[in-house]
Structure 1
Amino acid sequence: MNKDMDISALQAEKKRNQGSLKMRAWSYNYLMKPSTLGVLVLFGLLLVVLFIPPVIGMGDDGSTAAIISGSNLYNLGELSPKEALAFFQKDWGIMEYFNDTGNAQITAQTPFLNAARNLDRVYTWDGLFDMRFYGAVIAFFYLIAMYFLFETVTYGKRATWTYIIVGLGVIIFGDTAYTAWVNSFYPQALSFFLVTILGSSLILMGQEKLNDYLLIGCFFLSALLLCLLNQQYALLGLFLGILGINLKYVDKKKHFQRICVICGSLLLLSSLAAFFIMPNELSKLSTYHSMTRGVLMTADNPEQALEEFSINPQYAVLTGTSYYQAISPETMDSQEMAATFFSKVNPTGVAIYYLANPGQLYEMLNRSVDSSFNIRPAWLGNYEITQGYPPGAQTSFFTLWSYLKANYLPGNFGFIIIWTGVLIGVYVRFFRKGIIEKNERNTLRFVGLMTWLFIGLWELYVAIITSGDTDTLGHLFIFSLTFDLISFVILGKFIHWLEKQLRKVDWEARKQAFLQRNKDKQKNREQRGYRL
């Protein structure tokens, strides 16, 4: 009897040990993996910043009112317009009846907002919408994007350098200047993870690290949602659609090639449809600034620049002014101003003007790059009014990267040209090798990075022609993000190369040589002292 009990106890102990070993193996394979560990750290940061008081978010400038209305939400009116800029507003109203406001707008944000609103109703059912539910939905996809990004630089290894580069990634992309956008209705948080997934999925496909069908699905879905954010992003779909169709050469499987051709074609059509159907969000304010804070401000002769647009040269007195400091509101809204100024200015005309005047374009690019490196608009506060902080107060928690970037990186387009040269110099050989060997996968690392570069430069140029040097919320955010994404991947490559070079060094031999040199020096000193 005792013998049977001992055997049973031993078997139970053996099962426990096996279970413990399996748990340790699972923890090592997944939880201790650099990418997973980085995502877990970011999850903790998001939890502290976005969900635990004092809750961090972004003030509201009113530009997202149509998006909010499109998801049957409304502003409770607890803050004045000035206070709404200076403080984060966590609670919003949920419409109980048919939305007849007439200004509702449906974009790629709408499904995410609707999902967050439904989650809020399930958990609270109090008639109010807590912004943190939307933050939770966006944070989920943000973490997926970060996992993809970390996978592109770790190559599946557990070497010391992989943990170092993932740690740097946490510092860069976990910066509160980025994560605070998650608790807001601005499209920046959505564009953050969409752009990240776009490039990362291409690089991972080249590395053959994840399932091709998963990655191609992520690429096309991210591209579609990005193009549907607003009209100004729509034309990106033309480039991304053509790129998607050409991905058919990556794999010879018929199903894969059909998916690429069909999804790429649909993306092209959706992009064109979105451009013509979605409302043009360019306001009189943006049109005004594209001239006064762009064309006229950088022109040697503003009167002559106005003549090229068939505008009365007398409007040169507006050079360098903002919309609110120029003329009285009555004059700005007058039919005369509409006919003689606003009707003659459009993005196409401004773009053609800059192409004909590259010196002015370069000056505007310098100004825009400098502005883009500060992704924390000074006029938007981060705290709720009930938390006792002064108006417009911004958090300093976990903001090392945004501080260094805004204050110490060269904010000019010449630096971007040099930086682009480094990017091409490092990665073009992979592209060339892939072309020579007819192995399209080897080209995808370069293609992924160049996709980020194209998107960033496109948005930089669009910002200039639509808003002059005043748009630091929209297009310049994407340029700043793509700069960080590409820099992070290049930095990972450099750290990997440096670690490989250090591994080749025979440190023991160098140590012995160093000790021997010290002994020889000591011996020489003793001999000189003996002679004296």
Structure 2
Amino acid sequence: MRSLRKYIYSFLKKFSNVISPALFATILAAVISGIILFVPPIHGLADNGDFYRSILGNGIYRLPTNYSQYSDYVIPKFGIMQYFNENNIAVLSSQSLFIQIALFLNKLFYSRTIFDIRFMGLVYYLFYLGGIYLLTNAFVHPYRRIKSYVMAFLIVFIFADSAYTLYFNSFFAEPGMLIFMLYLCASIISLARNVYSRRWPMTFLFFISTILLITNKQQNAPLALSFGVVAIGIMFLPNFKARRMATALGIVLVLMSGIGIYKSIGSEIVGANTFQTFSHGVLLETGDPTKKVEHGGVDGQFALMRGENYYSKDYATLDPSSKYVKKHLMDKTGFGWVIRYYASNLKQFNNLLDVAAKDITAVQPRAVGDFVRKSGHKPGEQLKTFTAYSSFMGAFFPGKYAFDCLLAIGFISVYSVGFYLDIKAKRYMGILRFFLIFGLMTIVIFVPIVSIIGDGDADLAKHLFLVPVSLNMSLLMFVSDLFNHTLWNTKGDEARE
């Protein structure tokens, strides 16, 4: 027995000398996600109708087929426009950076006329692995103990779940959001734990990742406030006076990016959101909505549009884009009207927030398939491989908004102790951590509210994508602090400077 322990100890020591916890996590994530994305038959996400917002403005189009290209199966091949692209960019988004890199690689190594979705997956895959490495290194630095490798495995177990990585083989904006969250959280934790000798690269990485995250999707505009709060922590770094002005400028740029992306929302998207806020929000979770909407000055006949989408695939009661609907419904049910309606129907609003809470764990969209045609799988069938974490959370995580709020308050309260102690001791790790946790918890609390008010329960799981990411990131930080004994006492951690 003693010789076996000695052998295991010797093996682990040699292993840790060659492969760090961060490299271990990166290799593990690379293998798991690589199998899903690139080994035939490949997996990804089918189009629910949103791809056009990303592809047309970037010179990509659907190849003609004799079958529907929506919802059932992943589309592996697209066409690349050869001449002038007359389509304006439907949605201003930093996602175009990823698409253009994928297009460049596709033309360089594959074809100038046909786009293979795997090049989209490859670009996300490479940036994602970089984020996994930086995040793991930030959480475990400078240790190479068994607990460090357990921490690395937990990071992979959570963020290499195929519920996240399936997005890579698609034109949804969510992969960029995940990647930028990995980088911005890794940069703040690296600053807090003094992982690198120079602070400005991680500070720069934080602001670049934050601005690109906010501009990745127009619904992300309110997140500028959350990440503006996170950035305040950087102001507390010692010997940083000369750069505090630059940090303040970075915070201003973060806030301006939120305003800019909000202002860029086109009238068609505003109309779609307004309509679906009514049909998928106001009209839901209520027995007879007719009297309620009439009380708000809206014709009761519009209650027949309950659950209908702006871009309807089937027969619609009324054309949402018609002048009649615009005049008698859209012009009357703006943001102010919706706020007043929910203020006078708080029970209904709370029910909708509980619907959102149940969708928090539904990272993998339920309405689209994950397999390509001729793969032997049914239309709309979803992948079950490497989904242990998301399946576990879906089965056991309470679907109550009140629970999410209590969880957020719990995280803030726990880390406020370290914040207070480090303020008194003039240390900075607990301060940076607190502002990061506080910013992440504002996402958990306010994104469901903004989503319900802004678009009802339409595509709710996708709108809430950053909520489970924020919760998982906070959970990992909590576990890391328990492992390193730095939850409330960061003195030992900073002594390594």
Q: State the partner residue of 1:10.
A: none
Query: Could you tell me which residue of structure 2 aligns to residue 467 of structure 1?
Result: 455
Over residues 48-100 of structure 1, what are the superposed CA-to-partner deviations in whole Å (9 max), with x where a residue is unaligned? Answer: 1111112111101221213211211111133644x431111111111111101
Equivalent residue for 2:477? 489
Please give the residue correspondences for 1:309-458 in structure 2 after superposition, counting only pairs within 5 Å. Answer: 309-319=296-306, 328=316, 330-355=318-343, 357-458=345-446
1:200 to 183, 186, 191: 186
1:260 to 247, 258, 264: 247
What does residue 46 of structure 1 align with? 33
The more displaced of 473-482 and 178-187 is 473-482
- Residue 208 (structure 2) aligns with: 221
| Alignment equivalent of 1:480, drawn from 439, 456, 468 | 468
| Contact 1:302–1:319 (8 Å) recurs in 2 | no
- Match of residue 62, structure 1, among 49, 73, 79: 49
- The aligned amino acid for 2:174 is Q
Is this contact kept in 1: 2:48–2:367, CA < 8 A?
Answer: no
Residue number in structure 1 paired with 2:110 = 124
What amino acid is aligned across from residue 139 of structure 1 in structure 2? Answer: Y
CA distance in 2: counterparts of 1:389 and 1:70, whole angstroms:
32
Unaligned residue ranges in structure 1 (runs of 5+): 1-23, 499-532
Q: Is the 8 A contact 2:408 2:444 kept in 1?
A: no
Counterpart-to-counterpart distance in 2, 1:105 and 1:315: 29
2:432 alignment partner AA: L
Distance change >3 Å, CA 320–CA 107, structure 1 → 2: closer
Letter matched to residue 476 of structure 2:
F
Instruction: Select which of 227, 246, 249 maps to 1:240.
Output: 227
Helix, strand or coil at the partner of 1:344: coil
Is the 2:363–2:462 Cα contact (8 Å) retained in structure 1? no
Whose helix fraction is larger, Structure 1's or Structure 2's?
1
Provide closer, same or farther for how the CA distance between residues 319 and 119 of structure 1 changes in structure 2, counting only shifts above 3 A: closer
Q: Deviations over 1:344-367 (max 9, x none)?
A: 123343245435554333222111
Change in Cα spacing, 1:136 to 1:423, as seen in structure 2 (3 Å) is: same
Shift in CA distance, 197/349, structure 1 to aligned 2, threshold 3 Å: farther
Whole-angstrom distance in 2 between the partners of 1:276 and 1:111: 20
Alignment of 1:511-522 (within 5 A): none
Coordinate RMSD, CA, aligned: 2.9
Offset from partner CA, 1:398-438 (integer Å, 9 cap, x none): 11111111122211123213322431233221111122234
C-alpha deviation, 1:301, in angstroms:
6.7
Are 1:276 and 2:263 an aligned pair? yes
Residue in 2 that maps onto 1:174 = 160
Q: 1:422 to 1:319 in 2, by over 3 A?
A: same
Aligned to 1:20: none
- Paired with 1:131 and 1:79, the residues of 2 have a C-alpha distance of 20
Cα pair distance change 1:243/1:425, threshold 3 Å: closer
What does 1:101-120 correspond to in 2, within 5 Å?
101-102=87-88, 104-120=90-106
Q: Which amino acid aligns with 1:36?
A: L
Paired residue type of 2:363:
I
Rounded Cα–Cα distance in structure 2 between residues aligned with 1:340 and 1:149: 51
Cα displacement (A) at 1:215: 1.3
Is the 2:234–2:247 Cα contact (8 Å) retained in structure 1?
yes
Correspondence 1:162 to 2:148? yes
SS of structure 2 residue aligned to 1:85:
coil
Residues 374/281 of structure 1: CA separation in 2 closer, same or farther (3 Å cut): farther
Whether the 8 Å CA contact 1:251–1:257 is kept in 2: the answer is: no
Structure with max Cα Rg: 1
> 2: CA distance between counterparts of 1:26 and 1:491?
23
SS at structure 1 position matched to 2:82: coil
Q: Does 1:302 align with 2:282?
A: no
TM-score for the superposition, normalised by structure 1: 0.81
State the shift of 1:474 in Å.
2.6
Note if contact 1:373-1:480 (Cα within 8 Å) is conserved in structure 2.
yes
8 Å CA contact 2:371, 2:382 repeated in 1: yes
- Take 2:373 and 2:26, find their aligned partners in 1: how far apart are those partners? 31
Q: With structure 2 as the length reference, what TM-score do the two structures score?
A: 0.86
**Displacement of 1:135 after TM fit?**
1.2
Secondary structure of 1:186's counterpart equals coil
Aligned counterparts of 2:102 and 2:161: Cα–Cα separation in 1: 24
Which residue of structure 1 lines up, in the alignment, with residue 495 of structure 2? none
Rate the CA distance shift 1:39–1:31 in 2: closer, same or farther, 3 A.
farther
What is the one-letter code of the residue matched to 1:464?
A: I
Distance 1:27 1:73, change over 3 A: farther
Please state how far the C-alpha of 1:322 moved relative to its aligned partner.
Answer: 6.1
Contact 1:306 1:312 in 2 (8 A): yes
Letter in 1 for 2:326: A
Secondary structure of the residue that 1:44 maps to in structure 2?
A: helix
Distance 1:365 1:204 in 2: 34
Residue identity matched to 1:108: S
Is the contact between residue 139 and residue 189 of structure 2 (CA under 8 Å) also seen in structure 1? Answer: no
Is the aligned partner of 1:33 residue 2:20? yes
- Using the TM superposition, name which of 265-274 and 186-195 deviates more: 265-274
Instruction: Find the aligned partners of 2:173 and 2:417 in 1 and give their Cα distance.
Output: 36
**What is the one-letter code of the residue matched to 1:112?**
F
Which residue pairs with 2:5 in the alignment? none
**Equivalent in the alignment of 1:100:** 86
Letter in 2 for 1:442: G
Question: What amino acid does structure 2 have at the position aligned with 1:305?
Answer: K
CA distance in 1, matches of 2:210, 2:423: 25
Indicate conservation of the 8 Å contact 2:92/2:264, yes or no: no
Partner Cα distance (1:426, 1:25) in 2: 34
How many equivalent residue pairs? 474
Query: Structure 1 432/403 Cα, relative in aligned 2: closer, same or farther at 3 Å?
Result: same
**Contact 2:80/2:114 (CA < 8 Å) preserved in 1?**
yes
